Amino acid sequence: MAILRVAASRAIVVCTLFLASAHAIAEPQNGWWWNPNESGRGYFIEMTGGVLYLAGYIYDSDGRATWMSAGGAVTDLYSISGTLQSYRNGQSVFGAYRRPDAAVDVGPITITFKDDSHGTMTWPGGTVPIERQIFDTDEVLVDLPKTGWWWNPAESGSGYSVEIQGSTLFVVAFMYDESGNPIWYLTAGAMDSPTHLEGDWLEYAGGQTMAGPYRAPTSRNLGRIAIDFAAINQGTITFTEGATVKRLKKAPASSSKAGVRSRRSSVVPQFTGPTWTESQFWPQFLCILTRKIVTTSEAGTTGTFTTTETWEYKVRFDVLTGSLGRYSINDAESYLDYRYDTVDTSNGCTQSASREFYAPLFGELDISPVGLYYRVRIFEPIIPFIAVTDSCGPHDPMALPVGWGLNGLGSTIQRSNPYPGLPLPSSYPRPYMKVNNTHSEPGGSTIEWGLDCLAHAE
């Protein structure tokens, strides 16, 4: 029965997994943030190369969607300040390019991060708790596109906030309407292919202003948006007015036939961050990857049954020559440490098991040479069951399945100093990766998983 409880608890927890960092020496995650109680407005944050860029997508007093932005050097990853600014009279979707007017200061903005996925924003509208917006928990489909600000350098003043989670792409275009007012549009959905999305072109209105009470916005469909990515840093975005799925397929993307206006722009990431060449990748990364699951269920009439499982992978990743940022596990230098404990308060019984496994481990570390974004994966190891002891035994022997992989842990390398070669000065500051993710469920169940890696050279 205990094993069945473990299996059921695992199934419940896995359905709600998401990456929500909580480590004081990692960094706030790039991408979409929001307050779940204020659905309809949100915030996009990118930290790249020691600089922060933020936009708030909200609504004006007349109900029109509007946006504001802030940016500046980052001196403290967990407490950032700047000046919120607004812009006007830039390029509309189908208008000729025009440079927007000079920025107008709206007021100060400060964000203090509790961890990598929770923070408090103070701006002219008051104080707002914010957290990472998770819209897809599936395995990452592709490494495209790069999360962050995208633009066409020839169309400065407007651009796109882009993030992919799993196979879902979420994009907001910040532009200007034909009267010169700042406005934003949204498209989101499952990728039609690893490099293509076609979705509705949505305009929102009537939502919450900067300082006003919550109001749910309404939306209208203006046509279709097609997005194609040729590489991690190259794409095209096409707006087609009034188009349906069928009509968009028939109408050339840059035509105005039959009164259908369309616009196609080539886009690239606005901020690329640091870059490493092949010789600058470090020979090894020594990593500790952890996963801890605590599940609680009812036991008897008044008791609870709590299960705690902990997986700790101690792994050495070696660079693959000629792969430009790909590492594989050195199996001889890696192992898994597993522990299992239960407590049944209805009868006082406890169970426990622990073991180190040196069975073959399989996984990979991928680091993008541009921006130094990384992703770590550990595949579920093939290892035997282990026996579980019970304080209320004796009873028939039990066996516990131990294998569990880690998929998709990633962020941006910190302290991005390239490999200088040997001999390596002892004081040379090495790059590191630190993430610790947590999620809590109603009823007391929690899941934590994290990463702690340091660059190494023999």
Percent of the chain with pLDDT over 90: 50
**Cβ burial, residue 60 (10 Å; 0-12/13-18/19+):** middle
* Per-position DSSP letters for 126-171, written without gaps between them: EEEEEEE-----SPP--S-S-SEEEE-GGGTT-EEEEEEETTEEEE
Mean pLDDT of 162-191: 94
| Buried-exposed string 215-233: b where 16+ CB fall within 10 A, e elsewhere | eebebeebbbbbbbbeebb
- Report the distance separating Cα 255 and Cα 218, nearest Å: 30
Task: Please report the pLDDT score of residue 58 as a whole number.
Answer: 97
For the residues 173-194, what does the mean pLDDT come to? 95
d(CA 355, CA 340): 9
Q: Is the pLDDT score of 105 beyond 90?
A: yes
Give pLDDT, residue 11: 31
pLDDT band at residue 3 using 50, 70 and 90 as cut-offs? very low
**pLDDT higher than 70, residue 218:** yes
Residue 23: its pLDDT value, please? Answer: 32
- Per DSSP, the residues of 305-332 read EEEEEEEEEEEEEEEPTTSSSEEEE-GG
pLDDT at 146: 79
Best CA proximity match to 319, nearest among 374, 264, 400, 269: 374
Summarize the confidence of residues 104-116 as an average pLDDT: 92
Integer-rounded Cα Rg, in Å, for the chain is 25
DSSP letter assigned to residue 280:
G
pLDDT, position 424: 86
Residue with tokens 């419940």: 12
Question: What does the alpha-carbon distance between residue 152 and residue 78 come to, in Å, rounded to a whole number?
Answer: 30
Q: Is the pLDDT of residue 166 over 90?
A: no
Residue 5's pLDDT is: 37
159 — pLDDT class (breaks 50, 70, 90): very high
The region of weakest confidence among 294-308, 337-351, 375-389 is 375-389
Residue 329 has pLDDT above 90, yes or no: yes
First to last CA, the chain: 49
Can you say whether residue 206 is alpha, beta or left, with left for phi > 0 and alpha for psi between -120 and 50 degrees?
left
Does residue 122 register a pLDDT over 80? yes
* Amino acid sitting at position 334: S
Report, as an integer, the average pLDDT of 50-67: 93
Mean pLDDT for the stretch of residues 85-90? 97
**Which distant-in-sequence residues (6+ apart) come within 8 Å of 55 by Cβ?**
43, 44, 67, 68, 69, 70, 161, 174
Q: What's the whole-number mean pLDDT along residues 161-173?
A: 91
Residue 318 CA to its chain's centroid (Å): 25
Tokens of 53: 């860029």
Q: What pLDDT, on a 0 to 100 scale, did the predictor assign at position 256?
A: 52
Over residues 222-238, mean pLDDT: 93
Percentage helix, strand, coil for the chain under 3-state DSSP, each rounded to 5? 5, 50, 40
Q: Is the per-residue pLDDT at 140 higher than 60?
A: no
pLDDT in tens, 200-211: 999 999 999 999
- The lowest-confidence range among 2-16, 20-34, 84-98, 359-373 is 2-16
Q: Which amino acid is at 297?
A: S
- Judge whether residue 7 has pLDDT over 70: no
Span 29-52, mean pLDDT? 90
pLDDT at 165 over 90: no
Query: What are phi and psi for residue 279, nearest 5 degrees?
Result: -75, -10
Q: What is the average pLDDT across 410-433?
A: 84
Q: What is the pLDDT of residues 351-404, one digit of tens each?
A: 998 888 877 888 899 998 877 888 888 887 766 677 788 898 765 545 566 566
Average pLDDT (181-208) is 95
Strand (E) or helix (H) holding 263: strand 262-269
**Collapsing DSSP states into helix, strand and coil, what is residue 26?**
coil
Structure tokens at 259: 């009164």
pLDDT at 156: 94
Across 14-18, 128-132, 143-147, which has the greatest mean pLDDT?
A: 128-132
pLDDT of residue 167: 83
DSSP class of residue 101 equals: P
Q: Answer whether the bond into residue 145 is a cis peptide, omega within 30°.
A: yes
pLDDT score for 33: 97
Provide the mean pLDDT of the chain. Answer: 84
* Chain centre distance of CA 438: 14
CA nearest 147: which of 39, 275, 48, 19? 48
* 3-state SS assignment for residue 222: strand
Token digits for 71? 């940016």
Portion of the chain with pLDDT greater than 70, in percent: 84
pLDDT over 80 at 179, yes or no: yes
56, 71 in Cβ contact below 8 A? no
Residue 78 pLDDT: 82
pLDDT number for residue 137: 67
CA distance 223 to 348: 63
Give the pLDDT of residue 247: 46
- Contact between residue 49 and residue 74 where contact means Cβ atoms under 8 Å apart: no
Beta-bridge partners for 406:
378
Q: Strand, helix or coil at 29?
A: coil
> What local confidence, expressed as pLDDT, does residue 1 receive?
34
Q: How confident is the model at residue 194 (pLDDT cuts 50, 70, 90)?
A: confident
Check pLDDT > 70 for residue 257.
no
The CB density around residue 384, as the number of other CB atoms within 10 Å, is 11
Looking at residue 432, what is its pLDDT? 87
> What beta strand segments (E) does 60-147 contain?
65-73, 79-86, 104-113, 118-123, 126-132
Eight-class DSSP state of 224? E
Please give the structure tokens belonging to residue 237: 């975005």
